[in-house]
Structure 1
């Protein structure tokens, strides 16, 4: 079960990384569009890039949390019950990893804002 959760979280991290790169690509497209008002295009691109950079911080935090969990899993004897793995997940600092109801669901949330974090 815990390895399935880890795989789900890695998939979500990959999705968030792709979203960050899409944001940067969108900003570059805006900057390259000669039909747009230059000042507004720069403001829009800066806003998108700042959001993407904030996403990078979130991705880094996710990766550190997952690495910590895996290191703790590696120390467990093979006969450890699922509850021990659940306790490790629940000790993480990032809610979307710590709280089972939020695990791996960011891709399914609709909040009307940019798809970045």
Structure 2
């Protein structure tokens, strides 16, 4: 697995995460609608949430597999410039929700708390 392949896999994982959230958003939209049949609404919302949660399982598995692949790549290449990698990582912001300056709603809430609305 080349680093370019890893980048493509990460992009696909991001896409799958977006699809998962769309399912939850759809479920919330159904809840917001006024419907006469509450049982049917509950069943529809539950199904949408279950499908979204199944997506999370696949995303978690992909992330674990990619992490393992990267560890194997690093272990197999003794010429890796670890200092350069450290420099690259030092310039990335990966915890956007915990750092108020990095995201919209986070700037208005206590650091580390996630607000969905």
Q: Give TM-score scaled by structure 1 length.
A: 0.63
- Cα deviation per residue 1:10-42 (whole Å; 9 max; x = unaligned)? 000000001001100100110110145322111
What's the counterpart of residue 110 of structure 2?
none
Structure 2: how far apart are the matches of 1:48 and 1:58?
16
What's the counterpart of residue 34 of structure 2?
34
Task: Choose 1 or 2 for highest CA Rg.
Answer: 2
Please list every run of 5 or more consecutive structure 2 residues that lacks an aligned counterpart in the other structure: 80-117
Rate the CA distance shift 1:23–1:72 in 2: closer, same or farther, 3 A. same
What's the counterpart of residue 52 of structure 2?
52
Instruction: Determine which structure has greater relative contact order: mean sequence separation of CA pairs < 8 Å that are 6+ residues apart, divided by chain length.
Output: 1
What's the counterpart of residue 4 of structure 1?
4
- 1:54 aligned counterpart, secondary structure: helix
- 1:64 aligned counterpart, secondary structure: helix
Rate the CA distance shift 1:73–1:42 in 2: closer, same or farther, 3 A. same
What's the counterpart of residue 77 of structure 2?
77
Structure 2: how far apart are the matches of 1:74 and 1:41?
50
Rate the CA distance shift 1:42–1:70 in 2: closer, same or farther, 3 A. same
How far the C-alpha of 1:78 sits from its partner, in A, is 5.8
Give the length in aligned residue pairs.
Answer: 79
8 A Cα contact 2:20 2:55, kept in partner: yes
